Amino acid sequence: MTRLRVVRGDGGEAEDRRDEGRGAMPPDLRATVPLDARIEEIVRHESIDGRALGLFGALLGALLVFVTLLAPEIWREPVSRLAGPLAAYVAPWILLAAREVLGRGVVVVTGDGLGVRSFGRPPVFVRYRAVRRVRRALLLGGVVLETARGRIWLPGRLAERARDPIARARRSEGRLASLAGDLVDPTGFLSGDVSRP
């Protein structure tokens, strides 16, 4: 791999190590992750689990067929009366589908922060010390990192896969990457036990 030598403003040189890590960094994240960042790991979840959606959809369909066999007169009701119950019936499947579609993305874990690209949002880099609060995203799953500038959502599978690389990155090179002194993290996502192997 060819490494690019980048001249910093102070006249020194920094080595562009953005291509190192597990897998190639997506091009749109290259502009957000600092040139001197040591990449611990690139965590990806870019596919939709069609099996889970299909299985859940088939289960809902089978249940609907069963109800139809038990009470076929239900379909004689006006559509306006059936719309509400049917919407409530398929809502869990719609929520699962939304979690699968919106949960795709990439997290670049570095020694000092995270480069995050999630579905439909521009890529962003957040330093660990900039995070003020971490909370669970109850509806769509995952965690939300709250900073002074806004909120960053890490979808469920990305958050699960990024937890260990974050702990490794924070304790790498014999030092813990600093967190904000007033960090509120009941999830332990950033402030978890980074001393364990």
Query: Domains, the chain, ranges and CATH?
Result: 23-46+105-174 (2.30.29), 50-101 (no CATH)
Q: What is the pLDDT of residues 128-138, one digit of tens each?
A: 888 889 999 88
Mean pLDDT of the chain: 75
Q: pLDDT confidence of 178, banded at 50, 70, 90? A: low
Share of the chain above pLDDT 90, in %: 3
Statement: residue 180 has pLDDT above 80: no
Phi, psi of 125 (to 5 degrees): -115, 130
Question: Which pTM value belongs to this model?
Answer: 0.66
In which band, very low, low, confident or very high, does the pLDDT at 25 lie, cut at 50, 70 and 90? Answer: low
Phi and psi at residue 141, in whole multiples of 5°? 80, 165
For residue 16, the model assigns a pLDDT of 43
State which amino acid sits at residue 20. E
Closest CA to 154 of 84, 97, 107, 94: 107
Each residue of 80-105: pLDDT tens digit? Answer: 888 888 888 888 888 888 878 887 88
**Three-state SS letters, the chain:** CCCCEEECCCCCEEECCCCCCCCCCCHHHHCCCCCCCCEEEEEEECCCCHHHHHHHHHHHHHHHHHHHHHCHHHHHCCHHHHHHHHHHHHHHHHHHHHHHHHCCEEEEEECCEEEEEECCCCCEEEEHHHEEEEEECCCCCCEEEEECCEEEEECHHHHHHHHHHHHHHHHHHHCCCCCCCCCECCCCCCCCCCCCC
Quickly state the pLDDT bin for 123 (edges 50, 70, 90). Answer: confident
pLDDT reported for residue 55:
86
pLDDT at residue 137, as a whole number: 87
**pLDDT at residue number 15:** 41
Give percent of the chain above pLDDT 70.
77
Question: b/e map of 66-92 (b: 16 or more CB within 10 Å)?
Answer: eeeeeeeeeeeeeeeeeeeeeeeeeee
Q: Indicate whether 23 pLDDT > 50.
A: no
Which one has a higher pLDDT value, 183 or 135? Answer: 135
* pLDDT at position 5: 33
